[in-house]
Amino acid sequence: MSALYPEIISMELSNWPIITINDREVYRHRVGPLTIFMKRLLNEIWVASTRDESIRGTPSELPEKPEWVRMSLPGDFEKYRLQPVMPDMPVIIDTEHAYRFVSKTSTRVYSRIPVWVRIAPESREDLVIADIPTVILSETWFGTFTDGEPSYALSSTARRILTEDLLEPHLVVCPLEIRNNSDDELKFEKVCLRVERLSIYARENALWSDETVINYQGMDSSTDTEMKGVRPRESGDAKLVSKPRSPVRKSIGQKTFRLLKDFHIPGF
Amino acid sequence: MDFLSSLFGDQLTEERLFLLLRVLIILVVGLPLLFILRRVLNRHITRHYSQHYGMLAGKLVFYLGMTILLITLLHEFGFSLTPLLGAAGILGIAIGFASQTTVSNVISGFFLVAEKSFVVGDVISVSGNVGVVYSIDTLSVKIRMFDNRFLRVPNETMIKSEYINITRFPIRRVDCHVSVAYKEDLSRVSEVLFDVAAKLPYSLQEPPPLLIFDKFGSSSIDLLFVAWARKENFLKLRNGLNMGIKERFDKEGIEIPFPHVSVYAGSATKPLPLDLISRDGTVLSTGAQSGIGTGNPGSETD
């Protein structure tokens, strides 16, 4: 396990700092559209959040009636770590336009997924105080009417080229290699990305996830999804900042594509 | 011993005393053990599998244990099981005839459990009563209704009647019946409805929401707008959609019409006469003088 997951590097990134909260002081921090408010009262930590239209700049003001969530901790912690983590359910990436792959071709695309902010005492990272999404994604269903799994929906252009201006502090770039190993043509418009099995790497406030390789074997065979467990080559010397929520490294044969042939028929 | 001998006289032999002790030990140890075993098994299986299997396993172990305990006790008292079983067969037929309903409920219970149309914890609707399945017992299904009333449905009735398992499947559809005025632009209405659904995070994007033209109503165009949610978010979506639609329609100036009703008294050709009365009670004009309510039949006053 340790060979697969190197130790998380404790590094100071301006968007993901280790913060010191003084007693009764309200601390504010912005990550993309999300502003987090934290307050410490003896061994209690109070957390509230708000979102606005802007994704940069100073944190928002504390709302008039903030919805505080109080948590009593087993000690009096002063320092807290803000850490980017992946969403808690798979993300269905809608590619906007249907994608067609002829037999034996492959491509590499990039999708950007909004991260969640995890708050934990610096000395007790197992003590998760809150996981707050930077962007509230709509839910969707991946499967049939009788069986399937809940997921988040995300519309993406599935970019072939990633430029610097697309790197946002609250968006993790997921490189996705899709290979059509079958003799059939692969047509899809939705991909199910099992983000809970991906790590996050950071470099200069840009976030990257593990490489995911999807091997399509044909309609009759299951699709292999392989999480490489290594930082993508584009990320340079990015450091691991977050381990997967559900660490599964081996290749998984699960439903990954929403094929056009299998397109939804309303249940009426 | 002397005290016991003085109390029971010749009846209390050493052999009988040991028998009594053995029976007591079996009861004192066996019964609590059985209850503990049932509880532990129920809890363990509920945690790892489901509440339904936990309940079944608990009951199975309990009844099996009780049977073994009873047989052991009978054996201790010197009853031979062979003639007992024979007698039980004859007795069984007699009891079977006498308690057909009970037997039918017991057998129906087995079928209900085997069929697995619903399990403990499911929300079901039986003859219009909706509630959570509390337990599936030997004779009946117990349901906790949403207003916290307790409903007992005999197993035989369950087998014979139609019931709906509301939470069987993981996603559910919310139906919103929406009526708009004839003057409204339907493509704009459609746009607003889909936008309301898209803004609710628990409204599933897939299966997608759907707008169905229902009918040309007497006062409105009737539409059916459907959206999907995970079963646990069903009520949230229903409230969110209906409130969201009302709010957006008000904002966009889309009229939700209400039925216009004309009230006539007596003859169908003579409308109800109305008198105009000021706040201080002075009659300003009567229906006959003012012509109010004396229009032609078919002209409406609302």
pLDDT tens-place string over residues A54-65: 888 888 888 888
Predicted pLDDT of residue B250: 94
Predicted pLDDT of residue A267: 40
Q: Measured between CB atoms, does B195 come within 8 Å of chain A?
A: no
The answer to whether residue B105 is domain-embedded is no
Does residue B180 sit in the same domain as residue B158?
Answer: no
CATH code for the domain of B121? 2.30.30.60
CA distance readout (Å), A197 to A3, A251, A267, B124: 16, 11, 32, 36
Chosen for mutation from A91, A141, A188 (greatest number of chain B CBs closer than 10 Å) is A141
Which chain B residues touch A89 with a CB distance below 8 Å? none
- Our CA-based measurement puts residue A214 at a distance from the nearest CA of chain B, in whole angstroms, of 22
Q: Measured between CB atoms, does A92 come within 8 Å of chain B?
A: yes
Structure tokens at A139: 């839910």
Predicted pLDDT of residue A5: 44
The answer to whether residue B7 is domain-embedded is yes
Mean per-residue pLDDT, A136-162:
87
CATH code for the domain of B177? 3.30.70.100
Q: Measured between CB atoms, does B228 come within 8 Å of chain A?
A: yes
Q: Which of A91, A171, A89, A82 is nearest to A130 (CA)?
A: A82
Chosen for mutation from A95, A136, A138, A154 (greatest number of chain B CBs closer than 10 Å) is A138
Which chain B residues touch A136 with a CB distance below 8 Å? 201
Does residue B240 sit in the same domain as residue B272?
Answer: no
- A139/B201 CB distance under 8 A: yes
Q: Which domain holds residue B90?
A: 2-98
Burial of A64 (0-12, 13-18, 19+ CB in 10 A): exposed
- Our CA-based measurement puts residue B31 at a distance from the nearest CA of chain A, in whole angstroms, of 42
The helix/strand/coil state of B196 is helix
Q: Measured between CB atoms, does A230 come within 8 Å of chain B?
A: no
The answer to whether residue B213 is domain-embedded is yes
Q: Which of A233, A186, A184 is nearest to A214 (CA)?
A: A186
Q: Confidence band (pLDDT; 50, 70, 90) for A245?
A: confident
Which chain A residues touch B205 with a CB distance below 8 Å? 92, 94, 138-140, 153
- B204/A141 CB distance under 8 A: yes
Does residue B85 sit in the same domain as residue B133?
Answer: no
Predicted pLDDT of residue A37: 93
Does residue B150 sit in the same domain as residue B229?
Answer: no
CA distance A95 to A114: 16
Angle at A197 between CA A195 and CA A200, to 5 degrees: 75
Answer yes or no: are the C-beta atoms of B283 and B227 closer than 8 Å.
no
Q: Is the pLDDT of residue A157 over 80?
A: no
Which chain A residues touch B229 with a CB distance below 8 Å? 139
CA distance readout (Å), A256 to A108, A214, A223, B222: 16, 8, 7, 39
Does residue B159 sit in the same domain as residue B239?
Answer: no
Q: Measured between CB atoms, does B194 come within 8 Å of chain A?
A: no
Structure tokens at B299: 């002209």
Q: Which of B170, B173, B205 sits opposite A138 (nearest CB)?
A: B205
Predicted pLDDT of residue B166: 93
CA distance B32 to B158: 34
Which chain A residues touch B173 with a CB distance below 8 Å? 267
Chosen for mutation from B195, B196, B205 (greatest number of chain A CBs closer than 10 Å) is B205
pLDDT tens-place string over residues B278-300: 888 887 777 655 444 444 433 33
Domain termination site, one of B144, B165, B186: B165
Does residue B144 sit in the same domain as residue B189?
Answer: no
Rounded to 5 degrees, φ, ψ at B27 are: -70, -45
Answer yes or no: are the C-beta atoms of B220 and B184 closer than 8 Å.
no
CA distance A223 to A221: 6
Tell me if the bond preceding A133 is cis, omega within 30° of 0: no
The answer to whether residue B40 is domain-embedded is yes
**SS3 per residue for chain A:** CCCCCCCCCCCCECCECEEECCECCEEEEEECCEEEEEEEECCEEEEEEEECCCCCCCCCCCCCCCCCEEEECCCCCCEEEEEEECCCCCEEEEEEEEEEECCCEEEEEEEEEECEEEEEECCCCCCCCEEEECCCCCEEEEECCCCEEEEEEEECCCECCCCHHHCCCCEEEEEEEEEECCCCCEEEEEEEECHHHCCEEEECCEEEECCEEEEECCCCCCCEEEECCCCCHHHCCCEEEECCCCCCCCCEECCCEEECCCCCCCCC
How many contacts does A have with B, using Cβ atoms within 8 A? 56
Q: Measured between CB atoms, does B202 come within 8 Å of chain A?
A: yes
Mean per-residue pLDDT, A93-107:
82
Q: Measured between CB atoms, does A89 come within 8 Å of chain B?
A: no
The answer to whether residue B205 is domain-embedded is yes
Q: Measured between CB atoms, does A139 come within 8 Å of chain B?
A: yes
Burial of A24 (0-12, 13-18, 19+ CB in 10 A): exposed
Does residue B121 sit in the same domain as residue B204?
Answer: no
- A267/B173 CB distance under 8 A: yes
Q: How many residues are recorded in chain A?
A: 268
Half-sphere exposure (CA, 13 Å, Cβ side) for A238?
24
- Our CA-based measurement puts residue B194 at a distance from the nearest CA of chain A, in whole angstroms, of 13
- B205/A148 CB distance under 8 A: no
Most confident of A105-109, A150-154, B269-273: A150-154
Does residue B80 sit in the same domain as residue B59?
Answer: yes
The answer to whether residue B107 is domain-embedded is no
Does residue B271 sit in the same domain as residue B285?
Answer: yes
Does residue B7 sit in the same domain as residue B52?
Answer: yes
Answer yes or no: are the C-beta atoms of B198 and B208 closer than 8 Å.
no
Does residue B84 sit in the same domain as residue B146?
Answer: no
The answer to whether residue B189 is domain-embedded is yes
Q: Which of A3, A10, A2 is nearest to A242 (CA)?
A: A10
- A140/B204 CB distance under 8 A: yes
Predicted pLDDT of residue B115: 83
Predicted pLDDT of residue A226: 79
Chosen for mutation from B171, B173, B224 (greatest number of chain A CBs closer than 10 Å) is B171
Mean per-residue pLDDT, A148-176:
85
Mean per-residue pLDDT, A217-230:
75
The answer to whether residue B82 is domain-embedded is yes
The helix/strand/coil state of B71 is helix
Predicted pLDDT of residue A237: 81
On average, the pLDDT of chain A sits at 81
pLDDT tens-place string over residues A204-223: 878 999 888 888 887 766 67
CA distance B64 to A33: 61
Domain termination site, one of B252, B278, B293: B252
Q: Measured between CB atoms, does B213 come within 8 Å of chain A?
A: no
The count of structural domains within chain B is: 4
In order along its 302 residues, chain B shows pLDDT tens digits of: 555 566 566 667 777 888 888 888 888 888 888 889 888 888 888 887 777 778 878 888 888 888 888 888 888 888 777 777 777 777 777 777 777 888 788 888 888 888 888 988 999 999 999 999 998 888 899 999 999 999 999 999 999 999 999 999 999 999 999 999 998 999 999 999 999 999 999 999 989 999 999 999 888 899 999 999 999 999 999 999 999 999 999 999 999 887 766 666 666 666 667 778 888 888 777 765 544 444 443 333 33
Does residue B177 sit in the same domain as residue B146?
Answer: no
- Our CA-based measurement puts residue A41 at a distance from the nearest CA of chain B, in whole angstroms, of 33
